[in-house]
Amino acid sequence: TNLKVSSVKTTEIKLTWKKVTGAKKYKLSYSTNGKTWKSVTTTKTSYTVKKLKSGTSYRFKVSAVAGENTGAASSILKTATKVSKVTLSSVKSTKAKQAVVSWKTVNGASGYVVEYSTSKSFKNKKMMLRKSTIRLLVNNQNSRAILTM
């Protein structure tokens, strides 16, 4: 059946597979742990699984169905949803040339990239990797922090 990922978003994954001769429909199953599976049935050779958790790994398999007969499942395909965007909780100036940047943790994130610059155009930006809160040295009031994954 040649199961493939077509697109990935934060809460959905679109999968495609090749048509199987004689199949009237397909059973697509997915799991986070490989033990408990959820299944959907479709007549098409693609399906978008929605309402998934961001930053989470999933396993997928598909089977062709003809009448009451279900064929053998495809090989298991492993992929993950994208990590959600970071939301800043606060950016506070604690004393001259310092700022504390805090954000809400994001499901599935193993770390964060903090970009900062002292110029409005964000030229000469610098990056730091951190797990949660970070202190940034800044040179003027126009500094800002941008968080990217």
Q: Taking the model in full, what pTM does it have?
A: 0.72
Say how far apart CA 88 and CA 90 lie, in whole Å: 6
Tell whether the torsion through CA atoms of 34, 40, 41 and 42 is positive or negative: negative
| Widest CA span in the chain | 73
The residue with tokens 């059973």 is 27
pLDDT of residue 118: 66
Say how far apart CA 59 and CA 80 lie, in whole Å: 8
CB neighbours (10 Å) of residue 4? 14
The residue with tokens 């610098």 is 126
Tokens found for residue 133: 């809160």
| Helices (runs of H) and strands (runs of E) counted in the chain | 0, 14
Say how far apart CA 32 and CA 63 lie, in whole Å: 18
The one-digit pLDDT tens for each residue of the chain (149 residues) are 799 999 999 999 999 999 999 999 999 999 999 999 999 999 999 999 999 999 899 999 999 999 999 999 999 999 999 988 877 777 777 666 666 777 777 777 777 777 766 667 767 666 655 554 444 433 333 334 433 32
Tokens found for residue 77: 């395909």
